[in-house]
Structure 1
């Protein structure tokens, strides 16, 4: 009887990761492809090195910190093959994040250090959540001055010590706003929080969420994340940090699965 569920001989069976498969085949696939877009969009617009192939995507925006440079697997292939190909396609003397949607073997022999297995979290548009409130004024960035303030808050508030002292343009080129939307939260004229939304493959990537110490405990983190989450009327996904998970859960985000993040120092 078991043979009754077998497909006809020779029928192609999709795994969910074929290059020509529609992004909407699964929410996880959408999240993978959207992160691949996030990994390359800013560099492509800024004229920096980038690569987007069938099995991985990545780019190099800067030379000081791994958060500026991403390599993400798009298929469940041997990560060592991706690392070697990245060394050929991208500058090979910079740090980067290596993000795999799948568990990997030990990659220390390739010069990487394990950062952890953070959860991929998803927020669905139909989730009923009361919008968070804050006394911080949330504004969408529309110009270079606002982008520079967002960059400073991200580097100092996250924090990213390897990018300090802040050098303008080390993370955000002027063209960044052509592919992503950025918010800054202000107390008067003082920038205290930031977030970014990037839409691709039918989902919104919520990234670069950071809050300065002076704004913590005031609802700024939730409000600035909510602005990015709801900017597009579609599911939103993010790779959660330990500090961010409780905030995201209160906003209706669900833990979907764990990914694997390595760092090339």
Structure 2
């Protein structure tokens, strides 16, 4: 859905990061009609599916709506400069290019992030691999998938998403290495 005030998608998945609204302007008052429109878009369903509002600016107090603040995800700018990328011992980072690797990515992200709400579900479909700009990476340690990272590259930015590291592999800079793989998916970007 796209309005003059926000864009939103509701995949009706029990993981809030797949049900999101993005305001296209600041929300400065809790009585802003945009918030009611967002609430109506995500009207409660039988599963009480959660959703997120991604705002690039601070939000007003929203607890009266029954909403909670999840945090402030970072919006970071990284100029296209050389990077010091770690190379953890035994880690192989492979780009996901086929349905088999995509299934591994899917299962690994669900287990490593973790996202128990998505266990047993297929989250990513093979068509995603055909979309322009998407790059997905799988971290393999001792022959087993242990982490994920993805990037969506546009003409103006690289959006890094789905960073995960399995608990058994944490503390080895694997998440950092995967994040760099996604960040540098198209080394000349930005600008592209």
Q: TM-score range by the shorter chain?
A: 0.7 to 0.9
CA change 1:192–1:60 in 2 (3 A) is same
Q: Are residue 189 (structure 1) and residue 139 (structure 2) matched?
A: no
> CA-to-partner distance for each residue in 1:111-155, whole Å, 9 max, x for gaps?
2111122332222112x3222212211000012221121122222
* Distance apart, 1:191 and its partner CA: 0.7
| Structure whose residues are more often strand by fraction | 1
Secondary structure of 1:184's counterpart equals strand
* Distance apart, 1:103 and its partner CA: 0.9
CA change 1:199–1:82 in 2 (3 A) is farther
Maintained 8 Å contact 2:27/2:60: no
Q: Are residue 52 (structure 1) and residue 7 (structure 2) matched?
A: no
> Larger relative CO (CA 8 A, sep 6+): 1 or 2?
1
What are the equivalent positions in structure 2 for 1:29-108 lying under 5 Å apart?
A: 51-77=1-27, 80-89=32-41, 92-93=44-45, 94-108=49-63
User: Structure 2 residue aligned with 1:216, among 161, 170, 173?
Assistant: 170
User: Structure 2 residue aligned with 1:175, among 115, 120, 127?
Assistant: 127
Per the alignment, residue 240 of structure 1 pairs with none
Maintained 8 Å contact 1:141/1:181: yes
CA change 1:82–1:148 in 2 (3 A) is farther
Structure 1 residue runs of 5 or longer lacking an equivalent are: 1-50, 237-265
RMSD of aligned alpha carbons:
2.2
- Number of positions where the alignment pairs a residue of Structure 1 with one of Structure 2: 182
Q: Structure 2 CA distance, aligned partners of 1:194 and 1:54?
A: 35
Q: Structure 1 CA distance, aligned partners of 2:4 and 2:165?
A: 36
Q: Structure 1 CA distance, aligned partners of 2:190 and 2:64?
A: 37
| Structure whose residues are more often helix by fraction | 1
Per the alignment, residue 204 of structure 1 pairs with 158
Using structure 1 for the length normalisation, give the TM-score: 0.62
Secondary structure of 1:129's counterpart equals coil
Q: Structure 2 CA distance, aligned partners of 1:220 and 1:101?
A: 28
